[in-house]
Amino acid sequence: ENNIEGAVNFSEHRNPSRSLSEKEQRECAVIEQLIKSYFYIVRKSIQDSVPKAVMHFLVNHVKDNLQSELVTHLYKSDQA
C-alpha cells in the first residue's frame, strides 16, 4: 500500500497566484509520483532492515555471553 498522501500534502505548497501550464502540471505529477515512490522504497527498506538489525544484535549478544554462562554453570555443577 502506497499511502504517503496523508503524510505529505503536495497541493498545499503550490502558488495559487498563477496557474501551471499543461507541461508544468505533467512535470509536477511526475515529480510527485517519483517522490511517493522514493518514500515507499525507503519505508519498505526500513521495514526490512529493522527486524534484521534486532535479530543481529540479539544473536551477537547471546553468542558473546553464552559461552561464559555455560562455563560458569559447568564449573558450578562440578563443584557440587
Give the start-to-end residue ranges of the domains of the chain.
20-79
Q: How confident is the model at residue 18 (pLDDT cuts 50, 70, 90)?
A: confident
CB-count exposure of residue 32 (10 Å: 0-12, 13-18, 19+): middle
Looking at per-residue pLDDT, the higher value among 73 and 16 belongs to 73
Q: What is the mean pLDDT of residues 27-53?
A: 97
Question: 40 near 4, Cβ under 8 Å?
Answer: yes
Tell me the range of 3-7, 9-13, 67-71 where mean pLDDT is highest: 67-71
Ordered alpha helix ranges (H), the chain: 22-79
Q: Contacts by 7-14 with C-beta closer than 8 Å and gap 24+? A: 7/39, 8/35, 8/36, 8/39, 10/35
Distance (Å) of CA 69 to CA 46, 60, 73, 76: 34, 14, 6, 11
Average pLDDT in the chain: 86
- Residue 34 predicted with pLDDT over 60: yes
Report the pLDDT value the prediction gives residue 50, as an integer from 0 to 100: 96
Q: What is the mean pLDDT of residues 7-23?
A: 72
- Residue 60 predicted with pLDDT over 80: yes
